Amino acid sequence: MHDFAVIGLGAIGGATAAELVRRGHSVVGFDRYTPPHTMGSAHSDTRMIREAWYRGSPYMPLVRDAWRRWADLERTSGRTLLRTAGALMMGPEDGRVFAGTPLRDAARPDTGDILLSVGEVVERFPWLRPDPGTVTIYEPGAAVLSLEACLEATLEAAEGAEVADLRFDEPAIEWSASASGIRVRTERGEYRARRLAIAAGAWTPQLLPGLSLPLEVERTVQYWFEPAGAHSGVLAEGPAWVWELEREGTWYGFPPSARGLKAGMHFQAGRGTDVERVDREVGAPETEDLRRLFARYAPGVAGALAHASVCLYTNTPDEDFILDRHPEHSRVAIFAGGSGHAFKFAPTLGSLMADLLTDEPPSRDLPRFSIDRFG
Ligand SMILES: Cc1cc2nc3c(=O)[nH]c(=O)nc-3n(C[C@H](O)[C@H](O)[C@H](O)COP(=O)(O)OP(=O)(O)OC[C@H]3O[C@@H](n4cnc5c(N)ncnc54)[C@H](O)[C@@H]3O)c2cc1C
């Protein structure tokens, strides 16, 4: 019997397995595919890690802890995982982007963040064209995580240990918990462990049908364009942006990588779907919608479309994560509801999952992540 079973070896489950192994426990882990893969939430080149978004919120210590853990993994793995590029938060002062980030906190002089007027944005980043009244916080220290390298380094750290048995392309079909431990049934066999972590991303409802968690799976598209125009040379230096617009929704962009200039919509209505029936094709009209945003707000920088890919958010109603014990089975810990912002926290969330599973007092206060907050 293994000490722990982990279902889902994506961003958070992979980090949970790696942390349990690091603490000396034996782990059997399962994924329905071989991460990094393109079917869930963790793929497509890059993720942002930044503080300004979380300043003044309980996420702040988590983001700092995660940043330190990514830097440690970068050192031990010998891979490049983090690149400082800076990031902009933009939008109306009373909009959704700034809802959790009081401007007075984000723009305090001791933070290192810089509040920019529209004119100052254009002066520093001449390819951007904000509407009058747009508020901007520039966080020069924000970084871009190389997603696939992060996942590979995490799983390699776990797999390198003899106590790890990570089983890819082996979906868990069902699990049960009893006084004697956990059983996980897959297409290939049955496995036993003392305790279980479930971190199945957009597939969570399939593994927890009795809980009726209020999770909404959302289809999002990431686009890569060839960098074009007079600014293509400096675009790569950054910054990334998350930019709320009055009518169109909230869009984001990343400094170009080898795959191109990545952009997409962050908040946008009407994208609810189901992991089994999600449309994984990207249509010309939706690509044109994004092109219109570039034409209006960052003209001339997006050249030919190089690639597009569908990615999934799994949202809770309040956009805070679920990280808690199963209400009926104390041997089972659950992570769910990444809500479009969990990747940066992965090593910290993996460590918090390991705390729950090993009955360590949690190293952080977690009330915001409890399952029972939904009633
Ligand atoms: C377009 C986009 C942009 C984003 N940008 C950012 C960003 O800039 N910064 C940030 O911090 N976050 C960002 N996120 C969010 C972040 O990527 C997710 O919150 C995070 O990947 C969620 O991790 P997860 O482990 O819950 O899910 P996943 O990483 O999807 O992992 C779940 C895993 O479970 C496996 N699985 C499912 N069912 C089973 C089963 N029955 N048996 C075995 N395995 C199973 C799946 O195969 C998958 O590998 C973004 C997300 C998207 C889609």
Query: What are the pLDDT digits (tens) for 241-265?
Result: 999 998 889 999 999 999 999 999 9
Residue closest via CA to ligand 1's atom 16 equals: 343
Report yes or no on 237 lying in a domain: yes
Distance from Cα 152 to the centre of ligand 1, integer Å? 14
Task: Mark whether 106 and 234 lie in a shared domain.
Answer: yes
The last residue of one of the domains, among 298, 315, 332, is 315
Report yes or no on 297 lying in a domain: yes
- What atom in ligand 1 is closest to the CA of residue 33? 47
The rounded Cα 373 to chain-centroid distance in angstroms is 22
Task: Mark whether 261 and 298 lie in a shared domain.
Answer: yes
Task: Mark whether 362 and 241 lie in a shared domain.
Answer: no
- What atom in ligand 1 is closest to the CA of residue 312? 53
Residue closest via CA to ligand 1's atom 31 equals: 10
User: 225: domain CATH number?
Assistant: 3.30.9.10
- What atom in ligand 1 is closest to the CA of residue 264? 1
Report yes or no on 61 lying in a domain: no
| Structure tokens, 12 | 């958070």
Report yes or no on 77 lying in a domain: no
The last residue of one of the domains, among 315, 333, 348, is 315
Distance from Cα 96 to the centre of ligand 1, integer Å? 23
Whether the Cβ atoms of residue 243 and residue 250 lie closer than 8 Å to each other: yes
Task: Mark whether 128 and 188 lie in a shared domain.
Answer: no
The last residue of one of the domains, among 270, 295, 315, is 315
Residue 305 φ/ψ, nearest 5 degrees: -70, 125
Residue closest via CA to ligand 1's atom 7 equals: 47
Going from the C-alpha of 74 to that of each of 43, 77, 151, the distances in angstroms are 18, 5, 11
Q: 239: Cβ below 6 Å to ligand 1?
A: no
Distance from Cα 276 to the centre of ligand 1, integer Å? 15
Task: Mark whether 207 and 333 lie in a shared domain.
Answer: yes
- What atom in ligand 1 is closest to the CA of residue 30? 43
Task: Mark whether 128 and 229 lie in a shared domain.
Answer: yes
Query: What are the pLDDT digits (tens) for 68-103?
Result: 999 999 999 999 999 999 999 999 998 888 887 777
Count structural domains, the chain: 2
Task: Mark whether 311 and 369 lie in a shared domain.
Answer: no
Distance from Cα 40 to the centre of ligand 1, integer Å? 5
In this prediction, what percent of the chain has a pLDDT beyond 90?
84
Report yes or no on 183 lying in a domain: yes
Task: Mark whether 133 and 266 lie in a shared domain.
Answer: yes
Alpha-carbon dihedral of residues 34, 37, 40, 46, nearest 10 degrees? 130
* Predicted pLDDT of residue 57: 87
Task: Mark whether 203 and 234 lie in a shared domain.
Answer: no
* Predicted pLDDT of residue 101: 73
Pocket residue to mutate for ligand 1, from 41, 265, 341, most atoms within 8 A of Cβ = 41
Domain that holds residue 303: 87-140+216-315
* Predicted pLDDT of residue 88: 97
Task: Mark whether 229 and 311 lie in a shared domain.
Answer: yes
Report yes or no on 63 lying in a domain: no
Q: 29: Cβ below 6 Å to ligand 1?
A: no
Q: 191: Cβ below 6 Å to ligand 1?
A: no
Of the pLDDT bands very low, low, confident and very high (cuts 50, 70, 90), residue 202 is very high
Question: CA-CA distance, 231 to 225, in Å (whole number)?
Answer: 14
Report yes or no on 279 lying in a domain: yes
* Predicted pLDDT of residue 43: 94
Query: What are the pLDDT digits (tens) for 114-158?
Result: 999 999 999 999 999 999 999 999 999 999 999 999 999 999 999
- What atom in ligand 1 is closest to the CA of residue 151? 29
Question: CA-CA distance, 291 to 302, in Å (whole number)?
Answer: 8
Task: Mark whether 17 and 104 lie in a shared domain.
Answer: no
Report yes or no on 350 lying in a domain: yes
Three-state DSSP string of the chain: CEEEEEECCCHHHHHHHHHHHHCCCCEEEECCCCCCCCCCCCCCCEEEECCHHHCCCCCHHHHHHHHHHHHHHHHHHCCCCEEECCEEEEECCCCCCCCCCCHHHHCCHHHCCEEECHHHHHHHCCCCCCCCCCEEEEECCCEEEEHHHHHHHHHHHHHCCCCEEEECCCCEEEEEEECCEEEEEECCCEEEEEEEEECCHHHHHHHCHHHCCCCEEEEEEEEEEEECCCCHHHHCCCCEEEEEECCCEEEEECCCECCEEEEEECCCCCCEECCCCCCCCCCHHHHHHHHHHHHHHCCCCEEEEEEEEEEEEEECCCCCCEEEECCCCCCEEEEECCCCCCHHHHHHHHHHHHHHHCCCCCCCCCHHHCHHHHC
User: 336: domain CATH number?
Assistant: 3.50.50.60
Q: 36: Cβ below 6 Å to ligand 1?
A: no
Task: Mark whether 309 and 278 lie in a shared domain.
Answer: yes
